[in-house]
């Protein structure tokens, strides 16, 4: 009798003008052993009649854009686009003039989006007045600077300054000399898988008036013999290079720095050279003044903070290149010995 009734229910459903729609609720109903099946007279058959409700529109943040100004942009939309461009450009190092001009169009759009975001800056709100306005930990997500992400470090910013104030070479501008140095440094350290850039971060402490620049690097991460084998020639090792610089916030968001020392710290999961290396502190500031081409000048440098809010910070170096930082999703403690 039970079988006959079940067949009657199935026949009624099959002869209906429409087929019942599958829903998560109907699936749960058929998988619950303690639930009784309804009789054929109580079966609800779904129809194809469209509903009158309309879905809530979502912001079109990730749509094709050009180098032209986005008239429909909002500050949150621009932030989302900058983050996406930072990911697609590998924080900016995917576009490398040393290798070629591929991705130059994407970088042009990234520059435009950063400029658009800066137009939203309220001088009374988004331009920092004190170090407390930029306090804490920040991670680099995008830069327009060519020839190396490492140029966000105060050490390399000081090198940039040294070329500017050094003796002029006939026919060569200081900016060109600095770019040549950075290009050669990049070729020397990153070719053949010798070095790979990891996390880049900054940490500002208003109480001590120090800015700590953190730069993760792994050495020999891709050292293999192509075609002949897949084994690694050398083990991967590395760490976090930390440059400590005194800092001071001045008018207009100008952040002036002077490099004090450089040290290093281990990175969890990455083999280091040994515990002895973590205790080494190189007095860059003292040595800098002794170098003959610096003529006694300190290792000074500076950037201008063009925009800051609770989770975004954009700075500009003196060559007009931009560095975009965000608050880290995965913070990392800074252990100073």
Give average pLDDT by consecutive 10-residue segment, the chain, 337 residues: 45 42 35 40 43 56 60 83 95 81 91 94 95 97 86 89 66 57 58 72 97 84 54 62 96 97 85 73 92 90 96 94 96 84
Q: Which residues contact 50 (CB under 8 A, 6 or more apart)?
A: none
- Residue-by-residue DSSP string for 229-246: --SBSS--EEEEEEEEEE
Q: Which residues contact 251 (CB under 8 A, 6 or more apart)?
A: none
Cβ–Cβ contacts within 10 Å for residue 140, how many?
23
Token pair 């300054």 is found at: 161
Yes or no: say if 78 and 113 are a contact pair by the CB < 8 Å rule.
yes
How do the domains of the chain map onto residue ranges? 2-42, 126-326
pLDDT at 162: 84
pTM of the prediction? 0.73
Strand partners, 204: 136, 211
Yes or no: say if 111 and 146 are a contact pair by the CB < 8 Å rule.
no
pLDDT at 137: 97
Cβ–Cβ contacts within 10 Å for residue 25, how many?
7
How close are the terminal C-alpha atoms of the chain, in Å?
83
- The DSSP secondary-structure symbol of 123 reads T
**Euclidean distance between CA atoms 179 and 157, whole angstroms:** 12
């Amino acid at each position: 009798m039970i079988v006959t009734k079940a067949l009657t229910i199935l026949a009624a459903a099959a002869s209906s003008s429409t087929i019942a729609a599958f829903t998560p609720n109907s699936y749960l109903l058929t998988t619950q052993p303690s639930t009784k099946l309804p009789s054929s007279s109580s079966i609800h058959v779904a129809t194809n009649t469209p509903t009158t409700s309309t879905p809530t529109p979502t912001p079109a943040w990730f749509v094709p854009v050009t180098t032209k100004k986005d008239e429909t942009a909002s500050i949150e939309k621009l932030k989302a686009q900058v983050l996406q461009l930072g990911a697609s450009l590998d924080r900016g190092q995917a576009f490398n003039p040393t290798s070629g001009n591929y991705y130059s169009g994407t970088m042009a759009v990234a520059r435009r989006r950063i400029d658009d975001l800066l137009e939203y800056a309220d001088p009374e709100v988004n331009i920092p007045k004190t170090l407390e306005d930029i306090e804490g930990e920040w991670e680099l997500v995008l830069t327009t600077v060519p020839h190396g992400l490492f140029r966000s470090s105060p050490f390399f910013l000081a090198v940039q300054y040294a070329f500017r104030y050094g003796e002029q070479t006939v026919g060569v501008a200081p900016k060109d000399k600095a770019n040549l140095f950075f290009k050669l440094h990049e070729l020397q350290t990153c070719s053949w898988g010798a070095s790979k850039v990891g996390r880049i971060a900054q940490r500002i402490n208003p109480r001590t008036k120090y800015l700590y620049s953190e730069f993760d690097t792994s050495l020999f991460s891709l050292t293999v013999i192509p075609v002949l084998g897949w084994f690694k020639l050398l083990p991967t090792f590395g760490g976090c290079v930390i440059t400590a610089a005194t800092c001071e916030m001045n008018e207009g968001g100008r952040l002036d720095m002077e490099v004090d020392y450089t040290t290093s710290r281990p990175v969890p999961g990455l083999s280091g050279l040994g515990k002895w290396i973590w205790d080494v502190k190189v007095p860059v500031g003292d040595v800098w003044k002794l170098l003959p081409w610096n003529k006694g000048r300190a290792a000074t440098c500076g950037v201008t903070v063009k925009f800051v809010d609770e989770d975004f910070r954009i700075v500009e170096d003196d060559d007009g290149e931009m560095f975009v930082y965000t608050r880290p999703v995965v913070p990392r403690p800074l252990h100073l010995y």
